[in-house]
Amino acid sequence: MKVSVIVTAYNYGLFLERCLRSLLEQSLPTTAYEIIVVDDASEDNTEDIMERYVEKYSNIRYIRNTKNVGVAESSNVAIREAFGQFIVRVDADDYVNKNFLLFLSAYLEANNGLLGVACDYVKVNNDEEVISRHDANEENISCGIMYRKDFLAEAGLYNSDFRHCEEKELRARLGNRYQVDHLKIPLYRYRIHGHNKTTNVGAVKEFEDKIGKLYDTTGEEKN
């Protein structure tokens, strides 16, 4: 198995099927990747949607948490269960270009020493109209980054204490020890809908401040 796509979902049933359709329509052969959806104890129709998709598609797996544990720990649950050589996260309210998996996995195959590669992204509204294009190096987000699973495991996976900014904490912890490259192609579609997790500005700043206090630029913990 080449790639494991991790989709963490919490009450995003309204958007989930669009996300799954984009992942099922990839140019990478379906035998080369799996989709692992972790339902973080949703209270909407997420479970009903997933029962239908799991029955229909053999490369989709579904895990339902018994309680809400957050994106970081939900991602870790999926990574531990993943069969893929490479890991990439896609939020349940987002979707991707058809070449998303093919291009990112090919880049990592051609560059053996990399921890991962991040692609650029486009912000879209609920009608999937383009709002703006973004450089992943200048304005990174938590998804659209493909990692080598063995390197990620070696780094200790995500810190489950971080309910927000889990990706920033991981990158800060990695510091200069691992290289994540930048693919300047907008393969990821980041949906803006008013209920995004990152709209909680106070919580995001709290965790960003926590990261700054914990790590220096090399990824070493501060005394």
DSSP string, 41-74: S-SSSHHHHHHHHHHH-TTEEEEE-SS---HHHH
Residue 221 domain-assigned (yes or no): no
CA neighbours within 13 Å on the CB side: how many for 69?
A: 18
Bridge-partner residues for 5, per DSSP? 35, 88
Q: Which structural domain range is residue 116 located in?
A: 3-214
The answer to whether position 198 is within a domain reads: yes
First to last CA, the chain: 41
> Letter for the amino acid at 97?
N
The answer for 194, left when phi > 0, alpha when psi is -120 to 50, beta otherwise, is left
Question: How big, in percent rounded to 5, are the helix, strand and coil portions of the chain?
Answer: 35, 25, 40
Structural domain contains residue 64: yes
- To the nearest 10 degrees (0 to 180), the angle between helices 166-174 and 71-81 is 70
- CA torsion through residues 49, 54, 59, 61, sign: positive
Residue 5 CA from chain centroid, whole number: 8
For residue 136, give the CATH number of its domain: 3.90.550.10
Blockwise average pLDDT, block size 10, the chain, 223 residues: 97 98 98 98 98 98 97 94 98 98 98 94 96 92 92 84 72 76 97 67 49 49 50
State pTM to two decimals.
0.86
pLDDT of residue 179: 87
Q: Which two tokens stand for residue 186?
A: 């907008």
Tally of domains in the chain: 1
Is position 184 within any domain?
A: yes
- Residue 85 three-state SS: coil
Is residue 222 a part of any domain in this protein? no
Residue 220 lies in a domain: no
223 occurs within a structural domain: no
Q: Has residue 204 been placed in a domain?
A: yes
Q: Which amino acid is at 115?
A: L
> Which residue carries 């809400």 as its tokens?
68
**SS3 state at 216:** coil
Q: What is the pLDDT of residue 201?
A: 52
Nearest to 101 by CA among 181, 1, 4: 4
